[in-house]
Amino acid sequence: MPAIHFDNTYAQLPESFFTKLSPAQVPQPELLRINSELASMLSIDTDWLQAPEGISVLSGNAIADGSEPLAQAYAGHQFGGYNPQLGDGRAILLGEIIGTDSKRYDMQLKGSGRTPYSRGGDGKAALGPVIREYILSEAMAALGVSTTRALAAVTTGETVVRQDGPLPGAIFIRVASSHIRVGTFEYVAARKDTSELRALADHCIQRHFPQALESEAPYTVFLNHVITAQADLIAHWMSLGFIHGVMNTDNTAISGETIDYGPCAFMDTFHPQCVFSSIDANARYSWGNQPNIALWNLTRFAETLLPLLADDTDQAIAIAQSSLDTFQEYFSSQYMARFRAKFGLADSAADSLVQDGLTLLANQQVDFTLFFRHLTQVASGAPKGCLLGLFNDATEAEQWIARWLEATAQALHLEKMRTSNPVRIPRNHRVEQAIQAAYDNDFAPFHRLVDGLGNPYSEQDKYADLELAPLADEIVRETFCGT
């Protein structure tokens, strides 16, 4: 099967990092959707992918030439508690592909059956979570966020049993720069084998941050790169009103990509303490707490690297702490830069206006995405009516808008506003509607939603309904993991 050209490196690492095994067979695989653009970037023939031979590979029923299927082992802190044995409980890494951009990408099946890390689960995926991850990951890519990608989705013709009862099964075909997580390093570090830890770190440096090889302290540079990648990512999330929902260390990718779209959500009405995840009872992963959690996760990562940072433990801790101390300032600079762009403001002199604007949105429970869309329209010369209509207290809003107009009068960054404030996001109620329709064997809302979110910064009348905030009876207040 020459249609996919695998070139694997992770499979050459110590065998303790993974278990080699093949995906489970499924009875009746059918292609639900294929990402032709991504397939082309990976030099995969889309005609072959959509043919029976390709669908067999996408479903796990056949193994492509050069593939070395394996389930990765990792640990992780979940809601602050350490679990020493997690791993790919329902996923199989088929191998690595060199893209047309000369970068290396993993190709993974999610929902491909039991592995040694399934912890009693069936290793399968229901259709709903597959649709959610396809929609969200591709929407994030279109928004410009660093993310794993959807190559395809396949229905399996089998039934999986969940709390809601029997559901149709599916497999999600995910592409990532790698699937190495903070939890991967936690797993290897717990084995207390410095040679294995060094092998993993060297692999990541070569794959993700090769510039670190030029340094006399490559592992310190590696740590610094991971810190800045996570800071950039969280700032970008927050500028779009995105809440990951389960920022555990096993869901924190070393590459700086968004990974694992479980109970994630985009806010409708804005509030810093906003939470959607049904399992986040203490709001650990609320919108406003995401930078704190990112730093907490990075601290766990830095702890794993201590044996590589210096031979002397105290010196290694000092090096790690020095790197971690850079997070807050760097994150704040990225966060404010993104919000200045959203508000069309020039520099830090107007940062108080940004903070006051967000406080106003929170106090009046204003729709986050619509506010910035209408603000961009006002900046383009539109009347203020639609913008003011979002507020309960128009007087307070008028006062802030007057200040904003004064601040932008001399240096309005309109183009930055247009490229920072999306017209469409994956609204929670639209995602849920697409999932429920799919369970009724109607996939049109899913395809339309993916298509409509593919160009999120442009006005398109045919997708105008996707831009609307939910009606009272459409509001989604909780999202679920789906495992």
Catalytic center residues: 250
Kindly report the length of the chain.
483
In sequence order, what are the beta bridge partners of 377?
Answer: none
Both structure tokens of 137: 């990951």
Q: In sequence order, which residues have a C-beta less than 8 Å from that of residue 187 and are 6 or more positions away?
A: 17, 73, 74, 75, 84, 85, 86, 87
Both structure tokens of 61: 């029923």
- Give the type of residue at 216: E
262: nearest Cα among 251, 272, 273: 251
- In Å, how far are 19, 201, 222, 243, 373 from 136, measured between CA atoms? 29, 30, 29, 12, 20
Rounded CA-CA distance 426/138 in Å is: 10
- Residue showing tokens 């940004």: 354
Q: In sequence order, which residues have a C-beta less than 8 Å from that of residue 474 and are 6 or more positions away?
A: 429
Rounded CA-CA distance 146/258 in Å is: 6
Rounded CA-CA distance 125/131 in Å is: 10
Rounded CA-CA distance 60/56 in Å is: 6
DSSP string, 411-424: ---HHHHHHHS-S-
457: nearest Cα among 335, 341, 340, 288: 341
Q: What SS3 state is found at 474? A: helix
244: nearest Cα among 255, 231, 256, 234: 234
